[in-house]
């Protein structure tokens, strides 16, 4: 009986560990880093597995701790948060990175998104907004302002460097998933639309990223919209 109870507890612990979102923090301010750590530790379903003060430290410690989400300061001493984001995503393509910034520095945030970040949140944001941003990226979302979104739309209008057909061939299913991703659907929503699991969608996305030589869903959507004239947003006509 005792053995049975121990086995049931172990199974329960395994299930619970799968539900927990593991978070890493990269922030050079001791005060803010400790504050964020306290927020994560006190929230149900979240666990802070790593805290770093520099990009150099993050590049060593984050691969060891294997978090699901990283809160990354955009301005770090030494190597920047943007460079750190690009290097981490290169080696950990499934890692979801949210940029932390003091103010709406649109150009810097846009560069971070191009480097592989999934979204951003202001350092002065309330606790619920920080946790909400983490939850959003875990369900396939991308927390950002409308101004940043407009910059992404304008980038879609730039001429493509190469068509999808000139890159490694995507399967019909991968093209379906890429088209839905470009519509803004989350992994779960894509799965419902195609009657497959969110895990299967995630596996397809990893292959799509590899074939298109991109690091995140934002870059994949840009590639699709640039290479698909029918899907690309139209330029507004000038007022006469």
All domains in the chain, ordered by first residue: 20-152 (3.40.50.2300), 160-227 (1.10.10.10)
Q: Report the range of poorest mean pLDDT among 60-74, 127-141, 146-160, 218-232.
A: 146-160
Residue 164 in this model has a pLDDT that exceeds 60: no
The pLDDT value given to residue 159? 54
The pLDDT value given to residue 156? 53
Q: Which range scores top for mean pLDDT: 182-186, 192-196, 221-225?
A: 192-196
Nearest CA to 163 among 217, 226, 218, 219? Answer: 226
CB 69 within 8 Å of CB 36: no
The pLDDT value given to residue 93? 85
- What are the CB-based long-range contacts (under 8 Å, 24+) for 88-94? 88/58, 88/59, 88/62, 88/63, 88/116, 89/115, 89/116, 89/215, 89/216, 90/116, 90/215, 91/63, 92/62, 92/63, 93/206, 93/209, 93/210, 93/215, 94/202, 94/206
The pLDDT value given to residue 182? 80
CA 106 from chain centre, in angstroms, equals: 18
**Tens of pLDDT, residues 49-83:** 999 999 999 999 999 999 999 999 999 999 999 99
Compute the C-alpha angle 75/186/163, nearest 5°: 80
The pLDDT value given to residue 22? 96
pLDDT averaged over every residue in the chain: 80
Residue 4 in this model has a pLDDT that exceeds 50: no
pLDDT (mean) for 200-218: 83
User: Could you tell me the pLDDT band of residue 116, with boundaries at 50, 70 and 90?
Assistant: confident
The pLDDT value given to residue 185? 81
Quick check: helix, strand or coil at residue 23? Answer: strand
User: Could you tell me the pLDDT band of residue 101, with boundaries at 50, 70 and 90?
Assistant: confident
């Amino acid at each position: 009986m005792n053995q049975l109870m121990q086995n049931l507890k172990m199974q329960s612990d395994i299930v619970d560990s799968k539900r927990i979102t593991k978070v890493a923090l990269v922030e050079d301010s001791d005060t803010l880093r400790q504050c964020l750590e306290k927020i994560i530790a006190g929230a149900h379903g979240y666990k802070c597995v790593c805290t770093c003060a520099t990009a150099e430290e993050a590049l060593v410690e984050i691969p060891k701790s294997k978090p699901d989400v990283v809160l990354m300061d955009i301005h770090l001493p030494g190597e920047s948060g943007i460079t750190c984001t690009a290097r981490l995503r290169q080696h950990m393509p499934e890692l979801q990175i949210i940029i932390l910034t003091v103010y709406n520095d649109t150009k810097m945030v846009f560069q971070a998104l191009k480097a592989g970040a999934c979204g951003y949140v202001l350092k002065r944001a309330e606790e619920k907004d920080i946790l909400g941003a983490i939850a959003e990226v875990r369900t396939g979302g991308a927390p950002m302002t409308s101004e940043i979104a407009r910059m992404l739309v304008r980038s879609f209008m730039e001429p493509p460097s190469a068509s999808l057909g000139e890159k490694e061939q995507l399967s019909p299913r991968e093209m379906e998933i890429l088209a839905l991703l470009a519509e803004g659907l989350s992994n779960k929503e894509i799965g419902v639309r195609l009657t497959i699991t969110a895990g299967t969608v995630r596996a397809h996305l990893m292959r799509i990223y590899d074939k298109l030589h991109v690091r995140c869903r934002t870059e994949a959507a840009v590639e699709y919209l640039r290479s698909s004239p029918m899907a690309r947003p139209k330029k507004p006509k000038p007022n006469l």
